[in-house]
Amino acid sequence: MKIDGKTRTYGIIGNPVSHSLSPAMHNAAFAALGKNCIYIPFCVEDVGAAMQGLRGLKIKGVSVTIPHKEAVMAHLDRIDPVAERIGAVNTIKREQHHGSTLLCGYNTDWLGAVRPLQEQIQLKGSRAVILGAGGSARAIGFGLLEAGAEILLCSRTASRGRNLAADLGCEWFPLAEGFIPEGQILINATSVGMAPLQDKSPVPENIPAKFKVVMDIVYVPATTRLLADAQRSGCIAINGLEMLLYQGVAQFELWTGLPAPVEIMRQVLLEAVTIGEE
């Protein structure tokens, strides 16, 4: 790719960001469509200064990752209503409104979960059990509600779980007791399954068999203990790479207004994860 004065700059802000697979995914997408664009990782400590930098450098858009998804909201000109309800922004786009240039915040994390689930099951009228009460669980919960699903929440920390359940308008159950309510969809939104807990599952091995679809937001390893249990039980298993892919697809389409090259983006992620596991 030739970088010149017409190259449009995109990126990801977070701390750390050196491990992020987003640059490989988005740069491959830009190249596939012949766009004169580049996507760069920016390690950011001072969110306010970073937002001024976006304005001054006329950066077209950025992904936002941990720990800045909530902090950036105070520095934006407009926030999408869904992102407002979720209480977190993972995508910023530079937009023109009535002659003014604004930094606008969106959340595509919920789309990252909803899109791959919609390919496997009718979400409207279904019941989904979400494990965890962090930012990912919040985004997924609001996304499933948007899609018309009923949700139930299980977590180990009672205070966080009850607070999120109140925000989502759903029931909360203690995960530590090993009881998992019934449903059609089970989603692990905890870190159990990634290093150093890569040999662990958040639920007993007999639990996945009670569900039709099991999704894990962990993507390294690609097949977690939970997903291995699900596959042995004949469930439809969706790994975290699909969520990462589809939140990125939604970002790309938001920034460019063009259909994203989904299969190319998926292949790049698969290759990156495979190399990372070797």
- What is the set of active-site residues? 69
E-strand ranges in the chain read 8-14, 37-43, 61-64, 78-79, 91-97, 100-106, 127-131, 150-155, 171-174, 185-188, 213-216, 236-238
Distance set, CA 163 to CA 114, 142, 149, 157, 170 (Å): 23, 14, 20, 10, 10
3-state secondary structure of 201: coil
Report the candidate in 194, 74, 182, 86 with the shortest Cα–Cα distance to residue 137.
86
The span from the CA of 198 to the CA of 67, in Å, is: 23
Any residues with CB less than 8 A from the CB of 274 and at least 6 apart, and which? 222
Report the SS3 class of residue 210.
helix
Strand partners, 214: 186, 237
* b/e map 232-270, b = 16+ CB within 10 Å: ebebbbbbbbbbbbbbbbbbbebbbeeebbeeebbebbe
